[in-house]
Amino acid sequence: MSAPVRLRPIPCLLAACLLLATGSALVLPAAQASPIVTNGGFETGTINWNGAWGAYCYSSPACTASGWSGSYLLTSTGSWAWGWPGARPGFDATSQGVVVAGLQATEHVEQTLHIGAAGRYTLAWLDAGRPSSGFTYYAQDYEVSLGGVLLGNFHTEAGQAWASHGLMLDLAAGDALLSFRGLHASDSTTFLDNVTLTALAAPAAPASPAGTVPEPQSLALVALGLLSMGGLRRGRVQRTP
C-alpha cells in the first residue's frame, strides 16, 4: 500500500506556525537506522560497461543498480560518450563517486521505499544536463512522484551544471514507490545522482534548570496575563472613592 504524501514548502507554513504558537508539537519521525533510499548514488550493482562507447550501459539483467528498477542509463562520470558527466560544474567526486544514472528520452528509474514512521521528511537529489556540443535537444524535462503522487516536473538544460533539489514531505508509515521519469521522446537526457529521503530530526526537549529562557509562546501568554491584570487593577483604582 502506498504511503500518502503531502508536499510542504521549506518556509514555515501558517498552519505550522499556529501549531507552534498554541504549544502543540509537530509529529516528527524517529530517524531510521539505515538509509531509506537504497544505493541513492547508483554506485553498486551488476554493471557491465561498454568500453567501446565510453563506459556506459542501459539497464538489463547484465546492467542494474542495486535497489532500482525501470529502464535507465548508467554511465561512468568519465564517459566521453555522454560528455564526461563528472566534468560538469558543481560535480563533487568525493560525494558522488564514479557512477551516475540517466533519464534518456522517456526512460524511468524507480524504487520502493519503506517508510518506518509517519512524519516529515526531506527528499533530495542532484541533476545535471548532458553536454550539448551544439545540440539543444539534449535538454530534458522529467517528473518525480512518490506513492503515486506527482511531486513536480523538473528541467535540465543541455550541458547544465550539477544542481541540487529538495522537497519537504509529510509521509505516512508504509511502502511508497519513488519514481523519476523522462518526458521527451528524443535524445534528451538528465543525469541523476545522490537521491536521499531523510527524516527531519525532532527538536530537543526543552531544558528545565532555573534560568532557562522561556519559549516565545510562553512569553506571549505571560505578557497577555500581565496586561489583563493591569487592566483589572486600573479599573479598580478608577472606582475607588
For the chain, which residues make up each domain, given as ranges?
Answer: 5-199
Mean pLDDT of 188-193: 96
pTM of the model: 0.73
Instruction: Tell me, rounded to whole angstroms, the distance of Cα 177 from its chain centroid.
Output: 14
Confirm or reject CATH 3.40.190.290 for domain 5-199, answering yes or no: no
pLDDT attached to residue 190: 97
Cα separation, 206 vs 200, in Å, equals 18
Q: Residues 43-72: pLDDT tens digits?
A: 999 987 766 668 999 999 889 999 999 999
Residue 122 near residue 203, CB atoms below 8 Å: no
Which of 36-40, 189-193, 213-217 is least confident?
Answer: 213-217
Q: Residues 10-44: pLDDT tens digits?
A: 433 333 333 333 343 445 555 555 789 999 999 99
- Report which of 170, 119, 166 is spatially closest to residue 5, judged by C-alpha positions: 170
Residue 202 near residue 118, CB atoms below 8 Å: no
